[in-house]
Structures are given as structure tokens and as C-alpha cells.
A and B are shown apart, each in its own frame.
Chain A
Amino acid sequence: MQTDEVLAARLADGDEPALRELLRRYERPLASFLYRQTGGRDVEDLYQETWLRVVRHAERFDAERRFSTWLFQIAVNLCRDWQRRPPPEPRPATDEPARAELERSDAALDAARLLARLPAAQREVVVLRYYHDLSEDEVATILDIPKGTVKSRLHQAIARLAAVVHGEKRAAS
């Protein structure tokens, strides 16, 4: 079995089967990461842009590093750029994902709504750590922050989410 890193090296030479295999391995994790980071908006654009950058910069990839870390670093940077863009149309001041995505369930709370309550920096940590089960070291590398910051952001996110859950409970009762 070829490792991701070998496939990335082959990708630098325009090897389409290598790209197909990398896509197969990472399409679900990457798409779900982008979905959770953006609340489901512009996922296709960001997904395409991420892979486009992977292809264009494949020769710069350092095979000593993990491909998954590099891939998520690109995705994180694109999400940050995306979050800085002005919204296409007036929206509520909160950083909520598209209503259509949120109103798909009768449940008062769901994952998308919970994540939408978090600031982007905390959401990145929760998504990478919780949904992708990456270690604190890997999250720190991807986000280019110290490991201690990963811990503190996760702590703040838990406290914030707990407050949201308590608040919704109180509002419901």
C-alpha cells in the first residue's frame, strides 16, 4: 500500500491515479471538516480550492511531514479566508450557518447549531479534535498554535457549549 506521502509525491508529477486515491481517502474527512467549519456554505468551492492548491503546490510538499496535516492546514487557511469575506447578503449578526441547513431537524439543538455558537478559532479545535480525532499535537501543527493554546481553546469551547446547553434548557423549561 502506498502511503499518502508517496501519493503526494506522485501527484507532483501529475499522476491522476494518485490524486484519485488521495481523494478517495480524504473526501469524506475533508468535506465534513469544511461543512462543519462553514455551516454548510460554499463547501463545494472550498473543497475544490483545497484540492486545487494541493495539486498546484504538490512539489512543495515535504514528504517528511504527514500529508493529512498539510491538507488540513490548507483547508484551515481557506476557511479563515472565507470567514473574512463579507457575507453575500445581509444575515443576522451571529455567526450562524445557513438557515436551510439548520432547520432540517425538529431537535432544539443539533451539532451544526452548537458549533455555530463557537468562535471560529474554538470551532477549528473542536472539529479537528472531536470529529477527526486528531491529537493535540496534530491540531497544534495544523493550526500553527502552541499545544497549550489547543487545550485552552478546547476548554473555552466546552465551557461555552455547556453554557449554551444550560441556557437552552432553561429557556425550554
Chain B
Amino acid sequence: MSEQPDNPLAAHARECEDCRGSAAPIAQLSTLLDAGALALDAAGLSRRVLARVAPELQARAQAAFWRRLGRTFGAALVPLPLLVVADFWLLGWLYDLAAAWLPSALAAYLVLSYAASLLVLIGSVYAAIPLLLARPTSEPDSAPA
């Protein structure tokens, strides 16, 4: 860092009249400040941080999941009454149509089968919401900042 033109000490000395005038040994200071590598096991420190904050992160993740689930279910429930009304109307219409051509018992069987399928489909969609929300998020890109 000491020899680089953008060394902050040198930059300051260039701008500062006092430092220029006092001939402060900027290069020497920079060399001294750069001397001696720090004996740091930063990765080890980080591992211990992760171990320490893991329970807290887990609690936060749980809380965030329930918040998201509540919001999503809330949003998903909004169109449900409309869907139910529309389905009832559709089933009634289908029954009328089928009963015009088939015995009424058979028409009822067909419509009820269709209604059961619709029920399973709607139930599956709502049941999938927590599963989709519980999916792990993608790993962040590991390229340097």
C-alpha cells in the first residue's frame, strides 16, 4: 500500500500544507504501518460465529416462515369464496346439462365425481402453499463484493 499513488497518508500529505511543510516521513510511516502480517484466523472466527448464532438464525427463520405463510394464506383465501360460488354454479349447470341426456342418478354421479375432483384439486393447491414456502432459498452467489 505504501508505494501506491493513492496511499491515503500520501494523499493527505499532498493536500495538507502543514504535513508538506513538516516533511513528515510519509513513505517511512507507510512502510512501518504495512510491516508485520496479522496472525488472524478469520475463517475460524467466522465458524465460531456461525455456531453461536445458529439457534438465533433458526428462530428467525421459523418466525419468518410463519409470517410468510400467514401472508400467503391470507392472500390465497381472498378469492376462495368467489371460487366456491363459481364452482357451485358450474356444477349446477353441468347437472342440468347431464340430466337432460342421462338418467338423473347417473348425472348426479358424474357431477359429484367432478365436484370431488375439484375439491381435491383446490385442497392440493392450498396444501402446496406451505411446501412451496418451505423450499430452501438459493445459495447466494459467492463472487466477491
User: Residues of A at under 8 Å CB distance from B?
Assistant: 1-4, 7, 10, 12-21, 23-25, 27-28, 30-32, 35-36, 43-44, 47-48, 51-52, 55-56, 104-105, 107, 109-112, 114-115, 126, 129-131, 133, 151, 154-155, 158-159, 161-162, 165-166
8 Å CB contact of A159 from B19, B39, B50, B56? B19
- CB-CB under 8 A for A10 and B137, given A111-B32, A162-B25, A162-B29: yes
- CB-CB under 8 A for A155 and B16, given A18-B140, A112-B36: yes
**Hey, which chain A residues are within 8 Å of B7, CB to CB?**
130
The range of chain B's interface size is 35 or more
- By the criterion CB–CB under 8 Å, are B62 and A111 in contact? no
- CB-CB under 8 A for A52 and B8, given A10-B137, A28-B40, A111-B32: no
Interface residues of A, dominant DSSP? helix
Closest to A50 in B: B49
8 Å CB contact of B45 from A27, A104, A115, A151? A27
- By the criterion CB–CB under 8 Å, are B32 and A155 in contact? no
| Residues 11-29 of chain B, each 1 if its beta carbon lies under 8 Å from chain A, else 0 | 0110010110010111011
Q: Give 24 CB contacts A-B under 8 Å.
A: A1-B143, A4-B145, A14-B59, A14-B61, A18-B140, A19-B53, A21-B141, A31-B38, A31-B40, A32-B42, A43-B40, A55-B57, A107-B35, A107-B36, A110-B35, A111-B34, A114-B29, A114-B32, A131-B1, A151-B12, A158-B9, A159-B19, A159-B22, A159-B24
- By the criterion CB–CB under 8 Å, are A47 and B8 in contact? no
User: Residues of B at under 8 Å CB distance from A?
Assistant: 1, 6-9, 12-13, 16, 18-19, 22, 24-26, 28-30, 32-36, 38-40, 42-43, 45-46, 48-50, 52-54, 56-64, 137, 139-145
Interface residues of B, dominant DSSP? helix
8 Å CB contact of A14 from B6, B45, B50, B60? B60
Those 6 A-B pairs whose CB atoms lie nearest each other, nearest first: A14-B60, A14-B61, A13-B64, A27-B42, A162-B24, A23-B46
**Hey, which chain B residues are within 8 Å of A10, CB to CB?**
137, 140
- CB-CB under 8 A for A19 and B25, given A1-B141, A155-B12: no
- By the criterion CB–CB under 8 Å, are B35 and A14 in contact? no
A16 → B minimal CB distance (Å): 5
8 Å CB contact of A17 from B26, B28, B140, B145? B140
